[in-house]
Amino acid sequence: MKIWVDADACPNVIKDILCRAADRAQVTATFVANREVSLPPSRFLRAIRVSPGFDVADNAIATAVETGDLVITADIPLAALVVGKGAEALNPRGERYTADNIRQRLTMRNFMEELRSSGVNIGGPASMSQAERQDFANQLDRLLRRHASSGN
């Protein structure tokens, strides 16, 4: 298992949780962004800087991800791609995207995008709560434990 992080919009608190978890579980975490990502020194942490542009980081992740990998992203179309490839997807608020729920999430995302493009102000996402940070850490731990117990 490798962890791929859509780092362009990844909150720092989530990045910190991921860095500690990758070291603890001895799993490679790769942060992909179109800007410099600073990471603590670790043999399990990598940063890949891609060129600026719409979905460049997402495309790099979608190309590199393999079955059994974990992708951290709030981007629902990217999550749909990686789930379709047999990878796990987890958003920074602790919600796991699965084959069972990704189509519904994608439909809702597209509907909200249509509202925004027609001029309806629907606001942005709420600030990340402490409970959501904990949900993320708990889901990440579950996925890492499941990976460790499978012997992969």
Fold designation for 3-150? Rossmann fold (3.40.50)
- Between the alpha carbon of residue 107 and those of residues 77, 88, 114, 133, 145, the distances in Å are 10, 19, 11, 25, 31
- Between the alpha carbon of residue 69 and those of residues 6, 29, 52, the distances in Å are 13, 10, 25
- Between the alpha carbon of residue 7 and those of residues 34, 132, 149, the distances in Å are 8, 18, 28
pLDDT digits (tens, 9 = 90+) for 12-29: 999 999 999 999 999 999
Q: Can you tell me whether residue 11 is helix, strand or coil?
A: coil
pLDDT digits (tens, 9 = 90+) for 38-89: 999 999 999 999 999 889 999 999 999 999 999 999 999 999 999 999 999 9
Query: Would you list the domain boundaries of the chain?
Result: 3-150
Element (H, E) at 114: helix 102-117
Per-residue pLDDT band for 105 (boundaries 50, 70, 90) equals: confident
Report the range of poorest mean pLDDT among 3-7, 40-44, 112-116: 112-116
